[in-house]
Structures are given as C-alpha cells and as structure tokens.
Chain A
Amino acid sequence: DAGVIQSPRHEVTEMGQEVTLRCKPISGHDYLFWYRQTMMRGLELLIYFNNNVPIDDSGMPEDRFSAKMPNASFSTLKIQPSEPRDSAVYFCASSFAGLDTQYFGPGTRLTVL
C-alpha cells in the first residue's frame, strides 16, 4: 500500500487567500484525522471522521477552517481566508477500527505570508 498521501507537500500563500489541503487515506481504513503541528502546541487534533462522517470537530480553531470527506478515499481541509498564524505543518492520518495505531501522511507545510 502507498500509505497516506497528502498534497501539496508545501504551500506558500498570501494572507487572505483560500488554501485547500488534500488527503488520501490508506484503503480500507475507516477513520481519518487532521492534525496541525506547531512548536508551541505540538500535534493538535483538528477534526476526525468515521466512515466519512465528521465525529469531532472541536479542535478546529475557527470558522475559517472547514473539512470534508466526500468519499472513503479523499478528504480536504480548507482555510478561508488564511492568516499568518495558520502557518504550520498539517498532517492527515488514518486508522482502522480495532487497530492500535494511526498511520500518518508526510504532511503539508503551509506558510501564510
């Protein structure tokens, strides 16, 4: 299996622009997670889905952030409008119910100027 795939790997944008991050989970996994990594807060869970349904979005920082999972093989995290404080590495991870680990993608490094 190719593992969790994220695109783009790097994104540089200007404040106020819309940013869309993409994730393809491992085939057969029924949980999908979006995390943000910063120096101050480490890995923060933003939102997670089970069978394409959002279960907990309490970690989404503001209404500027939204996430969708239209099918089992694709998810997006959108920031609109983006702000410099959104600069971070965003990870997507997936898992299968009953397994004891999440599998992470390589991350998207977002820089908002």
Chain B
Amino acid sequence: DQQVKQNSPSLSVQEGRISILNCDYTNSMFDYFLWYKKYPAEGPTFLISISSIKDKNEDGRFTVFLNKSAKHLSLHIVPSQPGDSAVYFCAAGPTGTASKLTFGTGTRLQVTL
C-alpha cells in the first residue's frame, strides 16, 4: 500500500521552462512533507520541506505547494536548469521532524538544452 505516490516516473522539460513534479498522499496523519533530490551513484539530498500549517514554501528557484484537502503537493522549479536533472523523491511524515518518513517512488526529471 503506497501511502505516498508519484504517478509520473519521468518528466522532460526544456531549459528555462518550469518543471512541475507532483505527489499525492493518502495518510491523514502526515503533516510534514519534504522533497529530496538524487543524482546517480549518490544518496538523496534534502531539497525543501513544508509543514501542514502552510500551503507554500519557497527557496530560490524551488517552491513547494501543499493542498491538504486534496492530499496533494507539488514542486515547482523555475527556471529549470540542466543541473536539475535528477530523480526527485517526495516524502511525508507524521511529525514535525524527520523521525520517520515515507517516500514515494521518485520522478526522473530531464532538463534538455
């Protein structure tokens, strides 16, 4: 039973355009959400997070939106750069800390020139 779902296994976007990665969750106990980025042969690295008291969090070119009623979050990357090409994992947890996270299956983003 996948409690965190990333339904798009891959996404291709042109450099300079917006990349939108989506994530859905089913567990109502989740109140803390994160995005991780993973390059080949490396471990995932933390990108950005949002708690359920907010509906938007911004960090430079990266913005995460949370729609609690729809149990949906999205990551926007504007403008997309070739170095953003990686696998992006959505993660969710029941507390405000990283004590236990449930990850999605990942979306592979390819930013083309």
**Could you tell me the distance between the alpha carbons of A43 and B91 in the complex, rounded to whole angstroms?**
9
Are A101 and B106 CB-contacts (below 8 A) given A31-B98, A42-B89, A106-B41? no
A97 contacts chain B at the CB level, 8 A cutoff: yes
Interface 0/1 of B101-112, CB less than 8 Å to A: 111111000000
A45 contacts chain B at the CB level, 8 A cutoff: yes
CB-based contact B100/A104 at 8 Å: no
Q: Which of A35, A42, A44, A48 counts the most chain B CB atoms within 10 A?
A: A42
Residues of chain A lying within 8 A (CB to CB) of residue B101: 45, 102
Give the Cβ gap from A60 to chain B, nearest Cβ, in Å: 14
A79 contacts chain B at the CB level, 8 A cutoff: no
Q: Which residue of B lies closest to A41 (CB)?
A: B105
A69 contacts chain B at the CB level, 8 A cutoff: no
Residues of chain B lying within 8 A (CB to CB) of residue A42: 6, 89, 103-106
**Could you tell me the distance between the alpha carbons of A18 and B99 in the complex, rounded to whole angstroms?**
30
Q: Which residue of A lies closest to B104 (CB)?
A: A42
Q: Which residue of B lies closest to A4 (CB)?
A: B43
A residues whose Cβ falls under 8 Å from a Cβ of B:
4, 31, 35, 39-45, 48, 50, 56, 91, 93, 95, 97-107
B residues whose Cβ falls under 8 Å from a Cβ of A:
2, 6, 32, 34, 36, 41-46, 49, 89, 91, 96-106
